[in-house]
Amino acid sequence: MLATSNRTKEKFERLLSRFLDNKVVPFLGAGVSNDAECEDGYSDVAKVKTWKNKLIEAICSKIKELENGKQWYAWCCNYENCSKVTSKSCVNGAESKKYKPPKCETLSLGQLCETYIWLHGDYGQRALVREVLEIEKLVKMIPCPAHYYIAFLAREGLIDEVITTNYDTCMERAYADTFPVPYDDKNKSPAVVIANLEDYREKATKSFIENRMSCLKIYKINGCARNLLNLSGKEENILLTERQLQDWRERHWARDFFRDRLRSRTIIFSGFGSDEPQVRHTALQVVEEFQMINPPTEAGGNGNLYWWERPNAPYIAAYDDHLSFNQLQILYAYIQAHSNSPTIEEVYFKNAFTAVDLSFFVGENNELDTKLRADLFWERIFQGIFKKLLIRYCSRDSIAVAYLSGIFPAAEIIFQQMLEWFVPGDKPFGAFPAILSLKKENNNVMTLARLVWYAKYKGKPPAGWYASLKDEPFLIPFLLLLIFLAVGENGGEQEIAAKVSTEKELLSITFFSNNHKVKALIAHPERAFQNQELVDLPDDFKQRNIVQIIISEGLREKPRRQRIKISSTDNRCKRCKQMYISSVYQIPLRELFRNAYVASANINKLRSIFCENLKKVVLLYDEARPHLSRRDRVKPI
């Protein structure tokens, strides 16, 4: 088990490095959206099994109406290798009210779709798309966690393209949700959907939209459900049947685009287990090109590179313990193009993630997960990436360390200690992965993002919102540093929950030093209280001096006092509201590191100095106030 975990870690780290080099393009199959729920509450709207059952029922219903229906039943049963009892039941009992359609295990979804069209003639494609499978309803699907984690990677600037065979709108919804402003207009959304040649010509070169927000381009090579919402939507643009999926048809743009990405980027196939002939055949054709240019070697390397080290070596994330034929075919062909002696062990050990790797993703003692779900896989990918990005944003050259170094010479060492606490080297997903996990009860907003939101904005964060290190390279590192100062190097999730609060939609942190407790509000300059602002404060702030620590990059801000209006409920009458005026001392973060140079790199001394400065905020404010000089005071009036 340990050997398996080490091998998994090695290929996991290699995949993360590809993401950090901006070389990865996710390829999403049906498995990623399999557990997505619909807005109206249905949970199996996109399941392949559900679609097959609908088709079988519709096919059997149509066969009953045909004069040669028994021949169709006989053909289906022969293809399915049904038992004689089942075959006889189908052929002779189809007209019975008690007849139940058989389970078709051999016929694929594409074959069932094609059979349906055979039976319905010219009207078949329209009826299949709009009446049987009701594909336009897929626009109401709610994104899965996997879609959000992929969107988070895009927000960090690590991916800008996604390829999918799915018709739903989950990926574009997830990416749009990560921004604080809702995007109901698809033409203004930062998620750019490309589903036909016209889209490709118009949008494929887009990198930004208004406000310089980065685009995520989503290539839907089998069509898009949103295009069916208007009556003129062409049903033939939705590829469903075996025949349609055998070739790219008029979609030469999609074929050429996919070929280019196979040649130049690392494709990670996720949720891709069903038969997609055009995808497999194109991948195999490109692999043959590699073999013709660079004949395979005995060592499996080309120059100094082994096949799994090459920048376009594909990866596959599979749901089960073993790869399907379609998955294995792509990886094995790639190995054959670079090695004279490929082995199936190389496939599993180097570039495939399966349920066998679960112990690495969830730990040895987990009994809940038996399959490698797409949600779990992409959650761990995101957490591993966030760990590496945080280290980058807390390095010597980062804006956070550079800012604090001007006040506190040992800033880099203190940030390093914070990193060893939050993202230690021996924990690939960080010490507290739950902080970087989506919570359904929190509207699919992870805990760290909620803390950033309450420090910067009013109200509650919208569903799926994400705070990226790319956009907040100063706020997030300092927010984590403050939490580290509050809980200490041995603090865990319980200590964080006890000392970090978002009560009344305000972020506050409790600091302890020498048995003295100091609680302070944390705010970005955009969330700093304004003079005479009406504020609903938590109860433990109402009877004392209120301190608001301002996390700002500026160097000129000074401590100041604001007078705010505080609303309160009268204990004698719950409906009666009281209001009173109170002072808030707003202290720039750098002021709390005064005299910190004496602490050197000792975190305990630094915490003590920080808390002492917090306790004397009134003095800090008084020092910052403009004072009359002695000469001005003695001037005659």
Q: 23 and 56 share a domain?
A: no
Query: What is the pLDDT, as a whole number, of residue 611?
Result: 83
> What contacts 551, CB < 8 A, 6 or more positions away?
455, 474, 475, 478, 479, 482, 522, 523, 524, 589
The mean pLDDT of 343-372, rounded to a whole number, is 84
**Structural domain tally of the chain?**
3
Q: What is the mean pLDDT of the chain?
A: 84
Q: SS3 of 585, please?
A: strand
Q: What is the mean pLDDT of residues 174-189?
A: 78
Residues 457 and 585 in one domain: yes
- Say how far apart CA 233 and CA 575 lie, in whole Å: 55
How confident is the model at residue 634, as a pLDDT? 52
pLDDT at 407: 82
Q: Are 287 and 337 in contact (CB under 8 A)?
A: yes
Q: Does any domain span residue 390?
A: no
8 Å CB contact between 25 and 268:
yes
**Amino acid identity of 610?**
F
Rounded Cα distance between 83 and 164, Å, is 38
pLDDT, tens digit, 9 for 90 and up, residues 500-511: 999 999 999 998
| 147 and 265 fall within a common domain | yes
User: Most confidently modeled of 37-41, 203-207, 446-450, 510-514?
Assistant: 446-450
Asked, for residue 629, whether it belongs to a domain, the answer is no
91 and 217 in a single domain? The answer is no
pLDDT at residue 25 greater than cutoff 70:
yes
Q: Give the model's pLDDT for residue 625.
A: 58
Q: Is residue 381 part of a domain?
A: no
The predicted model gives 405-423 an average pLDDT of 90
Task: Look at residue 545 and tell me whether its pLDDT is greater than 50.
Answer: yes
Q: Which of 87-96, 181-190, 260-269, 531-540 has the lowest mean pLDDT?
A: 87-96
Q: Let me know whether 127 and 166 are in one domain.
A: no
208: which 2 tokens?
């930004």
Residue 221 placed within a domain: yes
Domain end residue (candidates: 134, 155, 176): 134
Same domain, 460 and 403: yes
Provide mean pLDDT across the span 234-257: 85
Q: What are phi and psi of 613, to 5 degrees?
A: -65, -35
The answer to whether residue 423 sits within a structural domain is yes
619 — pLDDT class (breaks 50, 70, 90) = low
Q: How confident is the model at residue 231 (pLDDT cuts 50, 70, 90)?
A: low
Domain co-membership, 109 together with 165:
no
Question: Do 33 and 57 fall into the same domain?
Answer: no
pLDDT of residue 71: 75
Tell me the mean pLDDT in the region 94-111.
63
pLDDT at 618 over 50: yes
Per the CB < 8 A criterion, the answer to whether 193 and 172 are in contact is yes
Question: Is 292 found in the same domain as 219?
Answer: yes
Q: How far is CA 428 from CA 1, 159, 268, 577, 590, in A?
A: 17, 21, 20, 50, 32
pLDDT score of 469 more than 90: yes
Query: Do 533 and 565 form a contact (C-beta atoms < 8 A)?
Result: yes
Question: How confident is the model at residue 85, as a pLDDT?
Answer: 46
Q: Are residues 437 and 318 in the same domain?
A: no
479: left (phi over 0), alpha (psi -120 to 50) or beta: alpha
CB contact burial 446-460 (16+ within 10 A = b; e otherwise): bbbbbbbbbbbbeee
Tell me the per-residue pLDDT of 38-79, one tens digit each, with 9 for 90 and over.
887 777 777 888 888 888 888 888 887 776 677 776 777 665
For residue 156, what are the CA distances in angstroms to 53, 151, 207, 466, 529? 41, 9, 14, 10, 30
Check whether residue 104 and residue 162 sit in a common domain: no
Within a domain: 523? yes
Residue 377 falls within a domain, yes or no?
A: no
Is position 162 within any domain?
Answer: yes
Mean pLDDT of the 524-532 span: 92
Provide the pLDDT confidence category of residue 250 given band limits of 50, 70 and 90: confident
328 or 608, higher pLDDT: 328
Determine the structural domain holding residue 102 and report its residue range: 48-134
What pTM did the predictor assign?
0.90
Of 134, 155, 179, the domain-final residue? 134
Q: Is the confidence at residue 102, as pLDDT, over 60?
A: no
Q: What confidence tens digit (pLDDT) does each residue in 280-312 have?
A: 889 999 988 888 877 666 655 445 678 888 889
Q: What angle do CA 562, 565, 571 make, to 5 degrees?
A: 140
In DSSP notation, 18-81 reads HHHTT-EEEEE-GGGSTTPPBTTS-S-TT-HHHHHHHHHHHHHHHHHHSTTHHHHHHHHHHHTT
- Beta bridge partners, 302, equal 305
Check if the beta carbon of residue 190 is closer than 8 Å to that of residue 214.
Answer: yes
Place of tokens 């020092």: 623
Domain boundary among 100, 134, 168: 134
Residues 298 and 434 placed together within one structural domain of the fold: no
